Chain A
Amino acid sequence: MSFYKEKTTLTSSSNDSRQLCDDIEKNINMLEEHFFHTEDLMKKELQFQDQKCVLLYLESLVKKEILQSSIIEPILAMQASEIEKTVHAAEIKTTSAILEAGKQLLDGFCVILIENNHQAYLASVGGIEGRATQEPDSERTIKSTHDGFVEDFSSNLHLLRKRIKSPQLKVKYYTIGSLTNTRVGIVYLENLANKKLVEEVERRLSSIEIDQLYLTGELEELIEDHPFSPFPQILTTERPDRAVSYLTEGKITIIVDGNPRVLVAPITFFAFYQASDDYSSRWMIGSFFRIIRIFSFIVTISLPAIYVAIVSFHSEVLPIGILYTIRTSLEYVPFPPFVEAVAMQIILELLKEASIRLPSPIAQTIGIVGGLVIGTAIVDAHIVSNMMIVIIGFTAIASFVAPINEMGTSVRLLGFPTMIAASLFGFFGIVFVLMLVFMHLSKLDSFGTPYFAPLAPFKKEDLKDTFIRLHILQLKTRPTDARPAYAKQLGRTRAWKKK
């Protein structure tokens, strides 16, 4: 079907090169044909300066009150002689191309056609209300701001502009998708963002040829560097404060209309383990949480594997006391540890997946069934050992620690190959897989920035805000991963004390 689709999209909208003429009836007809006589294209006839005047709009995209008060009423009152001066819309354009008029109609404009005039007047009367900003469910915080991006493009831009009140904040629009005509905007700080980086993002965005673009996730897959990597190379966030903090590091955010998730590029691995709360807390507390999160990464990727390796290959690593505890819990379990571990992991994933989409009262039931019934019964039935429940539970909790959920899931998935290798080759297998993972991380780039910086390549100056968050006095320069135009971000500090 795809070749057929391509044909129709090309002929329907982008190839209509007809122009408006002086005959109003013909003009109306042309526009109606342009929209294939869709029934929500409304037509209202009025009189303006003794001439016939027709209003065309897509009923579903305009706000009736605005249309009434700022277009229809002024025309009826007829205070000025020209349309531009009569109507009160915020934006008025003129065009004579059918294509342009059609495009604007889809953006929530209304077209005003006047007899014996080959110009069409376009006035913005759009404004379908979306949902109000609210705290994103996937990135809750305790101490930071509680607003989040929504589906509406301009609201999202508003949330950014509200925080950076500077003319340096620049937006560039792209329209992607020959069917959906989705508005995509890249936002960056003109004086700070690296010029080459901006060019690269523009180049990648403008090279996209696609029929439909609904989701930020799709756009991410279209512009990321390494599509076959398990690690996300562009950060998606629903938090405006987070997006703004990246903007001020010289990074670029990409907003897709109709999506509450905003893309940030370039990004490093460690950004996925940072949260806005780190900066709201005292620096020691923030640093402590960061170390805990990095620890969670190590636990998620390797703990079940280490357990499997120790139990099946290297039990001599454990001193006799601990060995007894583990062995007694394994006594009546008929399966090898690897099968136990995979079974538990699958049960856990099923529980999680089942409870995500259910309404919360039912999700609680799932929690009880999962946690209490399966958890205790599976041990009593000697299918899985107690120790394995502890290990898998610990791992699961650790994997949910990552502030950006996507990374936590990626790492949890990487736990499986590590576990397989551990069950086949013990410690050697674990080291083998981890070595491959870290080699892969060293190889990755995100828009020309090394992904595993500041560890690979090692950058001493960026360590201050990676594993730990030092006091703001020490954060005199920005992180260098986005290669910002200038580094200094802090001038005189605590000068009140130096007297």
Chain B
Amino acid sequence: MEKEMTNNITKFQLFFIFIQSQIGVALLSLPHDVQKSAKGDGWLSTLIAGVAVQLMLIIYWQLLRRFPTLIYTEITQKILGVFLGKVLNLLIYLNFILVGGLATILFVKLVKLWLLPLTPSWIISLLILTSCVYLAISDLKIIARFFVLASSLILLLAVTSIFGWFTTKEIQYILPLGSSGLKNIIVGSQNSLLAMLGFEGLLFLFPFIIENKKGVFKTISMANLFITLFYTYFVFITVISFSSNQLAQMREPVLNLLRGMSYNMIDRVDLIFLSIWIVPMATSTISYLYFASKSVGAKKKQYPKVVLLNGLILFLITLIPHDDAIITLFNKYVSYLSYVVVFLIPTLLLILSILLKKNEMSEST
């Protein structure tokens, strides 16, 4: 694969690509998801999930250090040989396109539910994917530029959430700490782990980072810390605002939290929040579109066509009926696939590469 000097990103940009890929549609429903099992201890679940991601990042780091100029799909071929590697790559590609599809479906559903109840969802999905393809088709450095730019919105939203503190709070909801039991907390953290997906992008970004030998691990750890705290903060503030019975009935508790407020100048802060939140949601889709297109391993010239095709596939995926039962099922299978691609395969690759003493210098089998 061609790696032009101009197509590099800095560590600063990496930080924000991480944040933008991970933070997306899942945050809004995260408190609802984690409370299913963890109840008032949901915010502990996100912390635990953050630790799990950190462990995964260590594994990634060890793996990538051995192959500093290769992306995920090239590493699989290097370690496992061309045939087995290509089979795995198909799995990897499927994972990214399906996770991207799922994120887009949830995105479309959310927009339809809160902003445009009467507009057909295929139009919404068409608009979203148009903008996503428009950006994903360009160089990584341009994607990075836009992601850094869009991150200012995340700060804006974090500030907006301060308004959420002005509703009545009940600290009782989270007490006593750990009352849901360790098992339930860990099951809850599994749910928030899915919201944190996107960090596997490192496997595709690493070769393009300028001076990727030093300091990258620090950057990704910082990004992970930021995201974990960001999620924990939002879960915490919703958990102390609503009881678990209320949370069970709310699809997007974060929006409901803001909905309760009214000011002289503005009402329904939730709609403004959601409108701005469209951008971080779109950037997640862009990341997945980019990773999926990269995992195809096309030549540079064909890359735009691949992105276009993948955009079309994503569009077709979003055409499946937005029935809760179907989406839950879809979600379930996609998360199994993700566990394999995001957690299992890199770990196995690392173990294999240690056992076989393979690194970038060694000959391909």
Contacts and interface: CB of A to CB of B under 8 A. Distances in A.
Interface string B132-170: 001100100110111011100000000000000000000
A439 B13 contact: no
B272 to A, nearest CB: 7
B116 A426 contact: yes
A377 interface: no
Given A427-B115, A428-B278, A319 B266 contact: yes
Interface stretch (A36-44, A133-141, A282-290, A455-463): A455-463
B142 A443 contact: yes
A427 B275 contact: yes
B56 interface: no
B147 to A, nearest CB: 9
Contacts of A442: 135, 142, 145-146, 149
Contacts of B150: 438
A435 B145 CA distance: 13
B266 A317 contact: yes
Contact of A426 (B115, B264, B265): B115
Contacts of B10: 457
Interface in B264-279: 264-268, 271-272, 274-276, 278-279
B135 A439 contact: yes
A442 B279 CA distance: 15
A196 interface: no
Interface residues of B, number: 38
B134 A436 contact: yes
A456 B266 contact: no
B25 to A, nearest CB: 14
A225 to B, nearest CB: 13
Interface residues of A, number: 29
B83 interface: no
A438 B275 contact: no
A431 B278 contact: yes
A218 interface: no
Contacts of B135: 439, 442-443
Contacts of A458: 12-13, 145, 148-149
A431 B279 contact: yes
Given A425-B116, A425-B119, A426-B116, A318 B275 contact: no
A436 B149 contact: no
B124 A428 contact: yes
A302 to B, nearest CB: 11
A335 B138 CA distance: 41
A30 B123 CA distance: 72
A432 interface: yes
B127 A319 contact: no
A428 B116 contact: yes
A431 B149 contact: no
Contacts of A428: 111, 115-116, 124, 127, 275, 278
Contacts of B266: 317-319
B131 interface: yes
Interface string A278-318: 00000000000000000000000000000000000110111
Contacts of A425: 116, 119, 123-124, 127
Contacts of A429: 127
A452 B149 contact: yes
Interface in B86-138: 111, 115-116, 119, 123-124, 127-128, 131, 134-135, 138
A430 interface: yes
A432 B129 CA distance: 10
A316 B267 contact: yes
A335 B128 CA distance: 30
Contacts of A318: 266-267
Contacts of A317: 266-268, 271-272
Contacts of B272: 317, 427
Given A317-B268, A319-B264, A450 B275 contact: no
Contacts of B138: 443
A449 to B, nearest CB: 13
Most buried by B among A435, A438, A443: A435
Interface secondary structure of B, over-half rule: helix
Contact of B145 (A314, A320, A426, A452): A452
Contacts of B146: 438-439, 442, 456
B246 interface: no
Nearest to B16: A458
- Chain A CB count within 10 A is highest, among B13, B116, B264, B282, for B116
B281 to A, nearest CB: 10
Nearest to A310: B271
B62 interface: no
A240 B111 CA distance: 51
A336 to B, nearest CB: 16
Interface string A400-443: 00000000000000000000000001111111100110110011
A162 B138 CA distance: 44
Contacts of A457: 10, 13, 141, 144-145, 148
A429 B119 CA distance: 12
Contacts of A426: 115-116
Contacts of A435: 131, 278-279, 282
Nearest to B259: A316
Nearest to A317: B268
A456 B145 CA distance: 5
A443 B127 CA distance: 19
Nearest to A316: B268
Nearest to B144: A457
Contacts of B115: 313-314, 426-428
Interface in A450-488: 450, 452, 455-458
Given A317-B267, A319-B266, A427-B275, 18 more contacts: A313-B116, A318-B267, A319-B267, A322-B265, A425-B124, A427-B271, A427-B274, A428-B275, A428-B278, A432-B127, A435-B131, A435-B279, A443-B142, A452-B149, A456-B149, A457-B13, A458-B12, A458-B145
27 contacts: A313-B116, A316-B267, A317-B267, A317-B268, A319-B265, A319-B266, A320-B267, A321-B264, A427-B115, A429-B127, A431-B275, A431-B278, A432-B128, A432-B131, A432-B278, A435-B282, A436-B134, A438-B149, A439-B134, A439-B135, A442-B135, A443-B142, A452-B145, A455-B148, A456-B145, A457-B13, A457-B145
Closest 7 CB pairs of A and B: A456-B145, A427-B275, A442-B146, A442-B145, A456-B149, A319-B267, A431-B278
Interface of A: 313-314, 316-322, 425-432, 435-436, 438-439, 442-443, 450, 452, 455-458
